[in-house]
C-alpha cells in the first residue's frame, strides 16, 4: 500500500487485524503472559526475542496505539506512558543523568517547568532556560560541555508562543545533542516536528489526542535519525553495554531506529513503571481515530473566537497564533499552515476583577483547569492555578492578572462567541 495521508493514519494505523480477528484493538487486560518453557521466557529477558512478559514494561494494546502515534509523527519507534509528565521526564532522563545539563525553552507548560527546574534539578540535572525568541547567538551561549539535550514546545501551553523548530534543531545539532519537542498542542495533524529537524517528540495524550477528557496519558516517539554513535562519550547509556541488561549495547542491538525507545522501556519503565493502562490506551485510540476531524473544528472555533475578541472594546489584548498581527503569526504560517490549536488567551479590560466577573458570567464554557477537550473550558489563572501569587509574581511568571485562557471545544462557534459576548457584558 502506498504511503497514506494523515487522516487515514488516524483511523487505520497501528493495528491491522488478521482473518477473523477483532476489528477494534483488543484490550489485553492482563498483567502477565504465559510461556511453555523458562528458556522461551529467558530470551525475552535477554532482549533476544521480542514479546510480552509483564505489563509494567509492555502491553500489546499499548503497543498498537503507540504504533499509530509513531506513524502519525513519522517516527521509527514509540511508547505510551501513564501521563504527559512521565513522557517529558523519560524523554530527558533517558539521556541525561546527575551532573548533566539541558537547554530548554522558557516558554513551556508549567508542570514541565517545575519538573525540570525543581524535581530534576534535585536529581543533579541542571537546566538553562532560554527565551523561544532568542537569537541564534544567545541560544548558542546556553550550551555547556555537559549539555545532553534541547527541549521546547511547538505551541506553548498557555503562552501560545510558536517555537522556531529549525532554529532550535540547528543549535542542538551543532552541539551534538538531540532536540526534544513537546507536540501536545499542535498534534501531528497540524505539525510534525521531525520534518523540521526535531529528533524526539513527546505528548500529553490527555489533551487533543484523547480529546474527550477521558484518560490521562503520554507518549514518546523517536525519529530514529539522531546518530548517538557519533557521540559515544556524551551518550554512554545508549552506546556502551548496559550491565543491568546482560551487557547489551542498545545502539548495536537495536540500531538508531530502536535504541532510544528500547532503552526507555527496558530501563525506565522497568524501574519507574509509569505505564499507561491498556484500558486508557483503548480510550486514547478512540480519540485518535477522529483527531484529524476534531483538530480542524478546534482550529476553526479558535480562529473565530480570536477574531471576535480582537478589536472588541472590552478586550485588552488577544494572543492566538492564527491571528494576523499576532507576534507568532509568521512562525505559525510556516510551521502550522493548516491551523494551530483551539486555545486562545486574552486579557479582559479592567484587570483581575473584570476577569473574575467575566468568569462568573460564562454559561456555555465551563471553568476547568483542563484544556484541549471536546467541551469548551476556560481558566482564569490568577484566581485558580496561580492564585497564591501577587500581581508582581504573576508578571514574573508571564501570567498577567487579566489573562483568561479559553479552550475552544467542538461546539458551534456562534454559541461560544455569544457566551463570550454576554459574559463581557
Ligand X SMILES: *Cc1c(COP(=O)(O)O)cnc(C)c1O
Residue 194 binds to ligand X (criterion: CB under 6 A): no
* Cα–Cα distance for residue pair 70/86, rounded to 1 Å: 17
Shorter beta-carbon distance to ligand X: residue 185 or 346: 185
Q: Which stretch binds ligand X (CB under 6 A): 8-16, 180-188, 391-399, 414-422?
A: 180-188
- The residues, ordered by sequence, that sit 6+ positions from 109 with a Cβ below 8 Å of its Cβ are 84, 153, 156, 157, 182, 184, 204
Q: How far is the CB of 234 from ligand X (least distance, A)?
A: 26
Q: How many residues bind ligand X (CB under 6 A)?
A: 17
Q: Are strands 200-204 and 218-222 parallel, antiparallel or unpaired?
A: antiparallel
Q: Which residue is nearest to ligand X (CB)?
A: 84
Nearer residue to ligand X within complex by CB, 215 or 420 = 215
C-beta of residue 208 within 8 angstroms of C-beta of residue 291:
yes
Q: Across the strands, what pairs with 404?
A: 346
Alpha-helix residue ranges (DSSP H) falling in 310-350? 329-335
Contact with ligand X (CB under 6 A) among 14, 60, 74, 84: 84
* Residues facing residue 378 across a β-bridge: 367, 406
- Tell me: does residue 216 bind ligand X (CB under 6 A): yes
Asked if 323 and 329 count as a contact pair (C-beta separation under 8 A), the reply is: yes
Binding window for ligand X (CB under 6 A); candidates: 69-77, 189-197, 199-207, 337-345: 199-207
Alpha-carbon span 356 to 348, nearest angstrom? 9
Q: Closest approach of Cβ 393 to ligand X, in Å?
A: 22
Where does this chain touch ligand X (CB under 6 A) — which range of 25-33, 168-176, 182-190, 297-305? 182-190
- Contact between 109 and ligand X (CB under 6 A)? yes
Rounded (10°) CA dihedral 320, 325, 329, 333: 120
In three-state secondary structure terms, 39 is: helix
In degrees to the nearest 10, what's the CA dihedral of 100, 106, 112, 117? 50
In the complex, least distance from residue 202 CB atom to ligand X, rounded to whole angstroms: 8
Angstrom distance (rounded) from CA 184 to CA 207:
7
Of 2-10, 203-211, 246-254, 388-396, the segment contacting ligand X by CB under 6 A is: 203-211
d(CA 161, CA 134) in angstroms, rounded, equals 12
| Site membership for ligand X, residue 85 (CB under 6 A) | yes
Residues 6+ apart with CB under 8 A from 118: none
User: Are 39 and 319 in contact, with CB atoms under 8 Å apart?
Assistant: no
Q: Per-residue DSSP letters for 75-109? A: -SEEEEESSHHHHHHHHHHTT--TT-EEEEESSS-
157 binds ligand X (CB under 6 A): yes
Q: How far is the CB of 316 from ligand X (least distance, A)?
A: 25
206 lies in the binding site for ligand X (CB under 6 A):
yes
**Nearest distance from C-beta of residue 102 to ligand X, angstroms:** 16
Contact letters for ligand X, residues 134-153 (x by CB under 6 A): -------------------x
Q: Select from 80-88, 268-276, 374-382, 407-415 the region that touches ligand X (CB under 6 A).
A: 80-88
**Nearest-approach distance from CB 274 to ligand X, in angstroms:** 10
State in angstroms the smallest separation of the CB of 341 from ligand X. 10
> Binder to ligand X among 207, 234, 263, 298 (CB under 6 A)?
207
With the CA atoms of 416, 419, 424 and 425 taken in that order, what torsion angle do they form, in degrees rounded to the nearest 10?
A: 150
Q: Give me the least distance between CB of 158 and ligand X, in Å please.
A: 8
Does 111 sit near ligand X (CB under 6 A)?
yes
Is the Cβ–Cβ distance between 87 and 219 less than 8 Å? yes
Q: Return the residue of 13, 58, 83, 400 that touches ligand X, per CB under 6 A.
A: 83
Stretch that binds ligand X, among 33-41, 106-114, 257-265, 349-357 (CB under 6 A): 106-114
Q: Which is nearer to ligand X, 284 or 315 (CB)?
A: 284
Contact footprint for ligand X (CB under 6 A): 83-85, 88, 109, 111-112, 153, 157, 182, 184-185, 204, 206-207, 216, 218
Amino acid at each position: 500500500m502506498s504511503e497514506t495521508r494523515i487522516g487515514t493514519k488516524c483511523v487505520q494505523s497501528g493495528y491491522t487485524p488478521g482473518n477473523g480477528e477483532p476489528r477494534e484493538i483488543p484490550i489485553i487486560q492482563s498483567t502477565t503472559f504465559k510461556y511453555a518453557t523458562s528458556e522461551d521466557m529467558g530470551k525475552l529477558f535477554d532482549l533476544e526475542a521480542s514479546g510480552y512478559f509483564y505489563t509494567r514494561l509492555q502491553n500489546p494494546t499499548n503497543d498498537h496505539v503507540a504504533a499509530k502515534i509513531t506513524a502519525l509523527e513519522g517516527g521509527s519507534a514509540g511508547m505510551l506512558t501513564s501521563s504527559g509528565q512521565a513522557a517529558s521526564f523519560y524523554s530527558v532522563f533517558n539521556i541525561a543523568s546527575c551532573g548533566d545539563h539541558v537547554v530548554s525553552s522558557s516558554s513551556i507548560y508549567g508542570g514541565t517547568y517545575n519538573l525540570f527546574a525543581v524535581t530534576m534539578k534535585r536529581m543533579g540535572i541542571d537546566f538553562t532556560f532560554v527565551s523561544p525568541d532568542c537569537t541564534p547567538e544567545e541560544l548558542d551561549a546556553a550550551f555547556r560541555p555537559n549539555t545532553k539535550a534541547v527541549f521546547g514546545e511547538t505551541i506553548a501551553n498557555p503562552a501560545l508562543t510558536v517555537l522556531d523548530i529549525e532554529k532550535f534543531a540547528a543549535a542542538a545539532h551543532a552541539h551534538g545533542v538531540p532536540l526534544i519537542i513537546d507536540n501536545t498542542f499542535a498534534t501531528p495533524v497540524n505539525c510534525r516536528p521531525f520534518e523540521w529537524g526535531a529528533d524526539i517528540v513527546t505528548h500529553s495524550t490527555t489533551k487533543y489526542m484523547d480529546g474527550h477528557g477521558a484518560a490521562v496519558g503520554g507518549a514518546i516517539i523517536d525519529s530514529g535519525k539522531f546518530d548517538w554513535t557519533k557521540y559515544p562519550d556524551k551518550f554512554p547509556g545508549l552506546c556502551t553495554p548496559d550491565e543491568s541488561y546482560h551487557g547489551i549495547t542498545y545502539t548495536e542491538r537495536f540500531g538508531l531506529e530502536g535504541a532510544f525507545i528500547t532503552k526507555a522501556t527496558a530501563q525506565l519503565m522497568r524501574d519507574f513503571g509509569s505505564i499507561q493502562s491498556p484500558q486508557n490506551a483503548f480510550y486514547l485510540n478512540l480519540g485518535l481515530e477522529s483527531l484529524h476531524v476534531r483538530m480542524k473544528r478546534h482550529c476553526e472555533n479558535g480562529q473565530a473566537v480570536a477574531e471576535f475578541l480582537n478589536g472588541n472594546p472590552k478586550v485588552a489584548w488577544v494572543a492566538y497564533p492564527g491571528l494576523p498581527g499576532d507576534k507568532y503569526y509568521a512562525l505559525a504560517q510556516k510551521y502550522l499552515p493548516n491551523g494551530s490549536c483551539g486555545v486562545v488567551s486574552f486579557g479582559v479590560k479592567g484587570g483581575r476583577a473584570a476577569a473574575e466577573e467575566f468568569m462568573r458570567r460564562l454559561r456555555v464554557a465551563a471553568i476547568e483547569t483542563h484544556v484541549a477537550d471536546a467541551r469548551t473550558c476556560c481558566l482564569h489563572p490568577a484566581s485558580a492555578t496561580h492564585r497564591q501569587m501577587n500581581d508582581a509574581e504573576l508578571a514574573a511568571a508571564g501570567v498577567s492578572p487579566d489573562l483568561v485562557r479559553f479552550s475552544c471545544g467542538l461546539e458551534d462557534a456562534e454559541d461560544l462567541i455569544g457566551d463570550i459576548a454576554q459574559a463581557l457584558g
